Amino acid sequence: MKNYYHILGLSFESKPENSLIYAAYKALVKLYHPDIFKGNNKDLKRKITEINEAYETLSNAEKKKKYDEQLNFFHKNNLYDFSELNLEDTEKFNDKFFNNDWEIASIVYPELEERIFKLDLYSKKLTLQFQFYLLETKKFHQNKEIMNKFIDAFIEKKFGSSKLITKLSKFLIENKNKKETLYLNKLVKVVGSKSEKKIVDAFFKQFPDVEHEFVSRLKKMGGSKFIVTSDNENFQKIILVLAVVLLILFLIYSS
């Protein structure tokens, strides 16, 4: 099943408003302008057709309601459809297209350069869509919030909606762990993101050095509740609890 939200670079889980859907659509239309998109005409026509099809459905209240119900059922039954097989960028764009407007915006909002640097870690396409979106909507004052929405949509598309896998995938991408990121992406595609504990356990067995760094980061961020312990750690905890119980019983009966 096609995910029209993903096609527009949006997250279904975040329930985007109509204004966001429209702005995302306009940004993509500009992104796939022949002066910017470096692919062949066949690919260009296919992308524009997909974008128009997605917007036609999501901009129509009746069609959107029916589609949302179908997509929600699709997700609840663990039938996630990862529409892009490749995690890495395969499409090429002319990133020199922007005129002085972006430079002026960066003077007023110097943090935009930091946002661009972070988005580039995820995808060049994501960066360009972010730039077009801000230039289209003039919502520069919300640049951090908008950046996070685009990142969340990207992660949902590539890794599903699991909170734990979302945190892990962001950690890997932002630390430039390319090999590990691709491996996690492959695990999710094959097994499905709702098997998050099994996936993360298998991932850490393959990359044990990443586990310590990730867990440390979670603790600093106050996200210890997301930490997944391995089977061995769980076994050790059970042994410890049993030992304490036996010690208490021994003290009771020996007194």
Both tokens assigned to 111: 């943090």
Q: Is the pLDDT confidence value at 120 over 60?
A: yes
Q: What's the pLDDT at 87?
A: 63
SS3 for 110-124 is CCHHHHHHHHHHHCH
- Which tens digit of pLDDT belongs to each residue from 5-30? 999 989 888 888 899 999 999 999 98
User: Residue 35: in which H helix or E strand, if any?
Assistant: none
- Which tens digit of pLDDT belongs to each residue from 74-105? 777 655 544 444 566 677 887 666 667 899 99
Average confidence score pLDDT of the chain: 84
Closest to 21 (Cα-Cα) out of 74, 66, 84, 64: 64
Mean pLDDT (whole number) for 140-159: 93
The Cα 67–Cα 138 span in angstroms is 30
- Which tens digit of pLDDT belongs to each residue from 193-211? 778 899 999 999 999 999 9
Q: What's the pLDDT at 230?
A: 46
Question: Among residues of the chain, what percentage have pLDDT more than 70?
Answer: 85
What is the torsional sign of CA 151, 21, 71, 2? Answer: negative
Mean pLDDT (whole number) for 56-68: 94
Q: Is the pLDDT confidence value at 240 over 80?
A: no
- Which tens digit of pLDDT belongs to each residue from 205-228? 999 999 989 988 888 776 555 554
The Cα 92–Cα 102 span in angstroms is 20
pLDDT-wise least confident of 48-62, 82-96, 150-164, 210-224: 82-96
List Cα–Cα distances, 40 to 32, 36, 97, in angstroms: 11, 12, 18
Q: What is the dihedral of CA 210, 215, 216, 219, to 10 degrees?
A: 160
